[in-house]
């Protein structure tokens, strides 16, 4: 492209019709402290930064943005940093999932309404990756994603800890009386030792790996530890790449194809990744005009084994994965199922991107003949309890529960569950099926990560560490157990989960991919006719907008008006 063909030229270039506006734009850029020769005729690269003081996963991105801008300057571009919504998984309530679509909308409109020729998207904590990519895909600008990177491994009393996964494990040990307050205090200091997202194969690591598989990062970027000097070098290289992408006008629509999304699904499943990736990839694909569905996940899951021996479904942590070969090495084990001829932002083809990649530790990244599990790590279930589907991360469940029939114990909301779960009067046994409803996209609200329902304290003390649990909620990607999630349609809108009663028998059969409530169709219909919709959570504000427009889990929980196809016109910069 020539300088006058850049999108930003509409703001800064000379023309008879926009002379006054051009004069104004240049004057205000001088007001920012820039000389004309610093920016005129150069690609403007927006650096979208999700840093904030309350997001420990992204607290280092303030510094990394400087490295990105350094790279943009070095490549002859003009960087402008934009602070965007921070979605802090730990602190934002009721759940940052409620605000994923808000960040996606902010990203889209920011990239469209300002003089932007390309973008660097800086995120990594669970919802920020899909949100930034959803918005950038809708704006369809040249863009590269900079993952925040995993934190350092945790340490406590000679044990290596995985943030998230070991938190759940030791909290159950505390509830069962195996450890006390002194041990818990030590664990608080040992679980999270540095900036960066969870260093297990939780949602953050899963989604950044998916972004790399999609082809929107530099090779190997997704697993670089957040505090490694290689992470800063990657950020600078991403800034340089963004300038090149802007000059070539390589828009995301040319990279985010159906083949790319199928490869991302295969990657997630072979990693034994988070169930949350199902929702996010479906939403991201929708923004790219690709009709990805639960059936695609189920189909691809049967073609790939789990090769990443990383917690919670395996043994190791993300730093081990990185030095074992990272995603390039991992993908070199899957070349027979990947679309190698498709382009990425960094290379002409995926084949070129992973050429020469190798696995350094076959215990961390297993060979095909010795997988962690023979099939992909997420199973899609169907049945009269989930006519539009549900998911389970079966590789993280105790095997004896993957075929199970037991009596339901039903909770109408999470607060009630928290208050009463330890009450022996409920009659919960190890064979019971715990059911939580009103925790889905509309009912949660926002589909919180409630799906790893707590096991009663008295059962923990008896050594029970897993039970069948069913909900329309999500769960943290660092969680584990026989947890059936994302039941669709959700109970809040009258899905079958709303009509389960305590004592009903529920059958889970993961090998058969079924989830069934053992009542007759006539009885289920009678209960449906008696059901009364619950009141709305909000009367106004963003919450009301969310509740009115969010779609169900099986279609990605996007806003319907954002997910639908249609043309959005460029702004008049004159």
The answer to whether position 134 is within a domain reads yes
The answer to whether position 566 is within a domain reads no
Each residue's pLDDT tens digit, 484-541: 999 999 999 999 999 999 999 999 999 999 999 999 999 999 999 999 999 999 999 9
The number of distinct structural domains making up the chain is: 4
The range of the structural domain enclosing residue 202 comes to 42-151+194-354
Does residue 10 share a domain with residue 53?
no
Query: Based on the number of CB atoms within 10 Å of its own CB, is 272 exposed (0-12), middle (13-18) or buried (19 or more)?
Result: buried
Does residue 309 share a domain with residue 396?
no
Closest by CA position to 392, among listed 299, 509, 264, 558: 509
Does residue 25 share a domain with residue 105?
no
Each residue's pLDDT tens digit, 279-316: 999 999 999 999 999 999 999 999 999 999 999 999 99
The answer to whether position 552 is within a domain reads no
Which residue matches tokens 């079924």? 514
Does residue 409 share a domain with residue 512?
yes
Q: pLDDT tens string for the chain (574 positions)?
A: 899 999 999 999 865 455 888 899 999 999 999 999 999 999 999 999 999 999 999 999 999 999 999 999 999 999 999 999 999 999 999 999 999 999 999 999 999 999 999 999 999 999 999 999 999 999 999 999 999 999 999 999 999 999 888 998 999 999 999 999 999 999 999 999 999 999 999 999 999 999 999 999 999 999 999 999 999 999 999 999 999 999 999 999 999 999 999 999 999 999 999 999 999 999 999 999 999 999 999 999 999 999 999 999 999 999 999 999 999 999 999 999 999 999 999 999 999 999 999 999 999 999 999 999 999 999 999 999 999 999 999 999 999 999 999 999 999 999 999 999 999 999 999 999 999 999 999 999 999 999 999 999 999 999 999 999 999 999 999 899 999 999 999 999 999 999 999 999 999 999 999 999 999 999 999 999 999 999 999 999 999 999 999 999 999 999 999 999 988 888 887 6
Does residue 387 share a domain with residue 288?
no
Does residue 33 share a domain with residue 20?
yes
Asked if 340 and 303 touch (Cβ cutoff 8 Å), the reply is no
The answer to whether position 497 is within a domain reads yes
Does residue 140 share a domain with residue 34?
no
The answer to whether position 67 is within a domain reads yes
The answer to whether position 562 is within a domain reads no
- Give just the sign of the alpha carbon dihedral 332, 337, 342, 343: negative
Closest by CA position to 434, among listed 460, 399, 466, 463: 466
Does residue 168 share a domain with residue 145?
no
Looking at 354, 387, 405, which one is the last position of a domain?
354
Query: Based on the number of CB atoms within 10 Å of its own CB, is 251 exposed (0-12), middle (13-18) or buried (19 or more)?
Result: middle
In the sheet that holds 514-517, the strands lie side by side as 379-381, 390-392, 483-485, 468-471, 433-436, 403-411, 505-509, 514-517
C-alpha span between 451 and 474 (Å, rounded) = 5
The answer to whether position 242 is within a domain reads yes
Q: How many CB atoms lie within 10 A of CB 29?
A: 20
C-alpha span between 14 and 23 (Å, rounded) = 9
Q: How many CB atoms lie within 10 A of CB 124?
A: 28
Looking at 142, 172, 190, which one is the last position of a domain?
190
Does residue 260 share a domain with residue 181?
no
| Res 573: pLDDT | 74
**Tokens describing residue 566:** 């249609």
Query: Based on the number of CB atoms within 10 Å of its own CB, is 497 exposed (0-12), middle (13-18) or buried (19 or more)?
Result: buried
The answer to whether position 250 is within a domain reads yes
Does residue 74 share a domain with residue 111?
yes
Does residue 383 share a domain with residue 344?
no
Query: Which H or E run includes 139?
Result: helix 128-139
Asked if 272 and 310 touch (Cβ cutoff 8 Å), the reply is yes
Asked if 308 and 365 touch (Cβ cutoff 8 Å), the reply is yes
Task: Check which CATH number belongs to the domain holding 466 and give it.
Answer: 3.50.30.80
User: From its phi and psi, is residue 267 left (phi > 0), alpha (psi between -120 and 50) or beta?
Assistant: alpha
Does residue 326 share a domain with residue 417?
no
């Amino acid at each position: 492209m020539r300088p006058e063909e850049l999108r930003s030229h509409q703001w800064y270039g000379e023309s008879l019709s926009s002379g006054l506006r051009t004069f104004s734009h240049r004057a205000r850029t001088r007001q920012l402290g820039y000389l004309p020769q610093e920016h005129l005729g150069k690609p403007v690269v927006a650096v979208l930064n999700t840093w904030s003081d309350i997001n420990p996963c992204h607290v280092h991105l303030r510094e990394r943005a400087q490295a990105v801008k350094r790279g943009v300057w070095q490549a002859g571009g003009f960087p402008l940093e934009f602070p965007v919504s921070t979605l802090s998984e730990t602190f934002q309530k009721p759940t940052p999932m409620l605000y994923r679509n808000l960040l996606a909308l902010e990203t889209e409109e920011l990239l469209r309404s300002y003089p932007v020729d390309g973008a660097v998207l800086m995120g990594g904590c669970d919802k920020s990756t899909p949100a930034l990519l959803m918005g950038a895909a809708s704006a369809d600008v040249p863009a590269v994603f900079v993952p925040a990177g995993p934190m350092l491994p945790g340490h406590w009393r000679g044990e290596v800890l995985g943030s998230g996964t070991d938190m759940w494990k030791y909290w159950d040990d505390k509830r069962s009386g195996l450890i006390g307050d002194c041990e818990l205090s030590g664990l608080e200091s040992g679980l999270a030792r540095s900036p960066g997202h969870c260093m297990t194969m939780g949602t953050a690591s899963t989604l950044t790996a998916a972004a790399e598989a999609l082809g929107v990062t530099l090779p190997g970027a997704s697993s670089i530890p957040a505090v490694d000097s290689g992470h800063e070098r990657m950020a600078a290289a991403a800034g340089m790449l963004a300038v090149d992408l802007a000059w070539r006008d390589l828009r995301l629509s040319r990279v985010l194809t159906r083949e790319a999304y199928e490869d991302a699904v295969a990657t997630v499943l072979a990693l034994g990744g988070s169930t949350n990736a199902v929702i996010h990839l479906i939403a991201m694909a929708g923004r790219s005009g690709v009709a990805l569905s639960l059936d695609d996940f189920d189909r691809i899951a049967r073609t790939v084994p789990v090769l990443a021996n990383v917690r919670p479904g395996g043994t190791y942590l993300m730093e081990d994965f990185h030095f074992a070969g990272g995603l390039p090495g991992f993908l070199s084990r899957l070349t027979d199922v990947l679309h190698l001829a498709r382009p990425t932002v960094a290379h002409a083809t995926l084949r070129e991107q992973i050429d020469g990649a190798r696995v350094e530790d076959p215990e961390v990244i297993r060979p095909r003949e010795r997988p962690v599990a023979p099939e992909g790590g997420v199973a899609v279930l169907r049945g009269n309890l989930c006519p539009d589907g549900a998911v389970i991360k079966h590789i993280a469940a105790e095997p004896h529960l993957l075929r199970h029939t037991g009596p339901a114990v039903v909770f109408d909301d999470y607060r009630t569950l928290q208050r009463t779960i330890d009450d022996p009067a409920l009659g919960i046994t190890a064979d019971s099926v715990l059911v939580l409803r009103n925790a889905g996209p509309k009912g949660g609200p926002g589909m919180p990560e409630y799906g790893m329902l707590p096991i009663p304290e008295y059962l923990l003390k008896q050594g029970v560490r897993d039970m069948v649990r069913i909900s329309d909620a999500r769960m943290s990607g660092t969680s584990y157990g026989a947890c059936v999630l994302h039941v669709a349609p959700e109970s809040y809108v009258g899905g079958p989960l709303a009509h389960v009663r305590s004592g009903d028998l529920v059958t889970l059969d993961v090998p058969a991919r079924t989830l069934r409530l053992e009542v007759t169709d006539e009885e289920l219909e009678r209960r449906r006719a008696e059901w009364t919709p619950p009141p709305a959570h909000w009367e106004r504000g963003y919450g009301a907008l969310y509740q009115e427009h969010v779609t169900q889990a099986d279609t990605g929980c996007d806003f319907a008006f954002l997910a639908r196809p249609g043309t959005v016109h460029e702004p008049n910069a004159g």
